[in-house]
Structure 1
Amino acid sequence: MAGAMRPAGPGARWRPSELLLPTPAGLYCPPADIHIDPVRPVARALITHGHSDHARAGHGAVLATRETLAIMALRYGEGFAGSRQVALPGEAIRIGEVDFRFLPAGHVLGSAQIAVESRNLRIVASGDYKRERDPTCAPFEPVPCDIFITEATFGLPVFRHPPAAGEVAKLLESVRLFPERTHIVGAYSLGKAQRLMALIREAGYERPIYIHGAVEKITAFYREEGVPLGETRLVAGQDRKALGGEIVICPPSATQDLWARRFPDPVTAFASGWMRIRARARQKGVELPLVVSDHADWDDLLATIREVGAGEIWVTHGEADALVHWCGTAGLRARPLHLVGYGDEGEAETEAEAADAPEA
């Protein structure tokens, strides 16, 4: 890449910016000539997970976990890239003189951190991640490293997420108290919707869960992967007036559409870390806010930084300034990368959800 400096001699330790650096297309590894989660089409891409702000179509070659490649094919079609290669969890894949390893990120099914290692320097790019237990995907694995690249979607002290099981209990209690009302839960179609279903089943709810058409393809894929979701039924073709007392899961945008008003006296819920901010819930017309996030909250961001033991922290997106400031007080070097093109928790999913299936 033009302008990239080279080490002083063969075998010399890389400077961090020689191994990985931010570019307009995304994080770039010059020695391997490959990008991580590029926001525009590139020749070669490593993809951390299937959300549409990280996984875009049109790259020449894509390396990702088997599940992420399958999700991209579901959303974009089989021709989403010129070629694809499966990265097995923990397997070192050498490109040039750089080893890449995909390790679980705990965000959604197939999500991975990417460890980039060469010449005694290891940089770990987290992608999006969470630390709370999730029955639908492999848990986050802390990876010791020299530099940790972290997201900071909820990188403010106000964001301390309660246990998701408690939020699901609130939903089921509302269903019990209002058996005549349909409970319509806004949840992003990849990851959040399926996690909610699994948690609802773990809480003992056995009735069918009704789903919007935009949730169907990914839900079917999760089920094929062995995730226990119980019985689901498409809303399409149902007599909506007969769905009082039932749970319906749909994209968040659908909760504010005419689609949602056709159910009996609906209770509108939204599952998101942003529901910690009550003003945001009121702004979106949410009657039952559920603080269920697929991202690390403030405490888990700090705990993860301590756990990986990196001496330097790079922050890709979200509330970077607060996290960078905390790192400084903890004696760590830190800087924001100011990468553009990555959304907050699922906002970039709206377009992908519509493409999945607009009918319900």
Structure 2
Amino acid sequence: MTASRPPEQLLHPRPEGLYCPAGDFFIDPVRPVPRAMITHGHADHARAGHGTVWASPQTLDIMAIRYGEAFCDTRIPVEGQTEAGGIRVAFTPAGHVLGSCQITVDDGSTAITVSGDYARADNPACAPFQLAPCEIFVTEATFGLPVFNHPAPLSEIEKLLRSVAAQPERCHLVGAYALGKAQRVIALLRQAGWEQPIYIHGALQRLCDYHIEQGVDLGDLRPATTGDGKAAFKGQIILGPPSAFAATWAQRFPDPVICFASGWMQVRARARQRGVELPLILSDHADWQDLTRTIQELAPQQVWVTHGREDALVRWCELNQIAARPLRLVGYEEEAD
């Protein structure tokens, strides 16, 4: 049995990110480091320039797509468990985006699970969330307020399809982030029975192609440049990154219904600020119910809360006799979704 050490010695925040001294590695560091373990491929968690990177095979592929093949010196794909400096490390599906994992570090006496970003709602574009047992759970709190109670994903897709059917003279332009959200929206549309082509912005193409290579059924995808004038897009669904909506790209479509897929669309003021006509409350993060359910099911001795609404979740833990504290990390104050 390994002698017990204070948990802060096993894993603690440094300016670069969460650091494990015994294994001499960081988890999701915000600046280049010699040794990094990465939870998933979103840019606020996965950065280029590290020496050695441990991650799921899919996350390593996604980083290469986004940053180029030379994004790090050495790649170490992990499926399940590995070891670093005598520390056992387990990668467990997080349900957030393709390849996303929670990372558990275990010195034989204490296990700390860093959830990264996670979600427990239906997502046909990635592996489902699995509990990663631990004594200390490091949880995100992107939607860490009781007001955030997200609807079933297919109900939001059905809302989109009803709008398409009711306005056949218009196209529906859906804003969705390039990694994860776009592919999830497309896969859910296929689940809901939409068999027509879906048109996509060029910025989504390579990541959509990779999801298809990994067995995610996205159906008939076509470039959003296809068609003879604006009339060709009437009654169609087009996906693009939110940044494209302020560009001339969006002007090629006939009187578009502006939609945006995000958990933040539950906040009406955010929808109005973006000029969204049809908000789609579709999140790749756990809402309040799933945050608290996960903590209850794990029953950890401590909870460390980061990047989000820490105070409310810390208070909920205290009321439920669970030790908790905020773990404020630079670079993760609020997650895009």
Query: Same fold, TM exceeding 0.5?
Result: yes
Cross-structure match for 1:340: 330
Cross-structure match for 1:353: none
* Structure 1 unaligned spans of 5+: 1-9, 348-360
Could you tell me which of 30, 38, 42 is aligned with 1:39? Answer: 30
Q: Per-residue deviation at 1:136?
A: 1.1
SS in 2 for 1:13: coil
Amino acid at match of 2:9: E
Q: Per-residue deviation at 1:240?
A: 4.3
Query: Kindly, what percent of the aligned residue pairs are identical?
Result: 57
Q: Which structure 1 residue ranges, 4+ long, deviate > 4 Å from structure 2?
A: none
Cross-structure match for 1:293: 283
Cross-structure match for 1:49: 40
Cross-structure match for 1:358: none
Q: Per-residue deviation at 1:184?
A: 0.2
TM score, norm. by length of structure 1: 0.91
TM score, norm. by length of structure 2: 0.98
Cross-structure match for 1:28: 19
1:111 aligns with 2:100: yes
Q: 1:175, 1:20 → 2: CA distance?
A: 50
1:101 aligns with 2:98: no
SS in 2 for 1:108: coil
Are the aligned partners of 1:272 and 1:345 in contact in 2 as well (CA < 8 Å)?
A: no
Matches within 5 A, 1:63-212: 63-88=54-79, 90-91=80-81, 93-212=82-201
Cross-structure match for 2:210: 221
Cross-structure match for 2:318: 328
Q: 1:235, 1:284 → 2: CA distance?
A: 21
Are the aligned partners of 1:317 and 1:342 in contact in 2 as well (CA < 8 Å)?
A: yes
SS in 2 for 1:181: coil
Q: Per-residue deviation at 1:237?
A: 4.5
SS in 2 for 1:27: strand
Amino acid at match of 1:259: W
SS in 2 for 1:174: helix
Cross-structure match for 2:256: 266
Q: 1:172, 1:344 → 2: CA distance?
A: 30
Are the aligned partners of 1:13 and 1:120 in contact in 2 as well (CA < 8 Å)?
A: yes
SS in 2 for 1:42: coil
Count of aligned pairs: 336
Render the CA deviation track for 1:124-154: whole Å, top value 9, x for unaligned.
0000000111111111111221000000000
CA RMSD of aligned residues (A): 1.2
Amino acid at match of 1:146: E
Cross-structure match for 1:7: none
Q: 1:237, 1:166 → 2: CA distance?
A: 29
Render the CA deviation track for 1:301-333: whole Å, top value 9, x for unaligned.
000001111010001211111111111111111
Cross-structure match for 1:352: none
* Structure 2 unaligned spans of 5+: none
Q: Per-residue deviation at 1:344?
A: 3.6
Q: 1:283 to 1:99 in 2, by over 3 A?
A: same
Are the aligned partners of 2:305 and 2:327 in contact in 1 as well (CA < 8 Å)?
A: yes
Q: 1:195, 1:324 → 2: CA distance?
A: 31
Q: 2:55, 2:333 → 1: CA distance?
A: 20
Render the CA deviation track for 1:204-231: whole Å, top value 9, x for unaligned.
1110000001100100000000100000
Q: Per-residue deviation at 1:261?
A: 2.3
Amino acid at match of 1:63: W
Q: Per-residue deviation at 1:96?
A: 1.2
Render the CA deviation track for 1:62-110: whole Å, top value 9, x for unaligned.
000000000000000000001100001x22x111110001000000000
Q: 1:11, 1:213 → 2: CA distance?
A: 52
SS in 2 for 1:11: coil
Q: 2:264, 2:247 → 1: CA distance?
A: 20
Could you tell me which of 286, 294, 298 is aligned with 1:304? Answer: 294
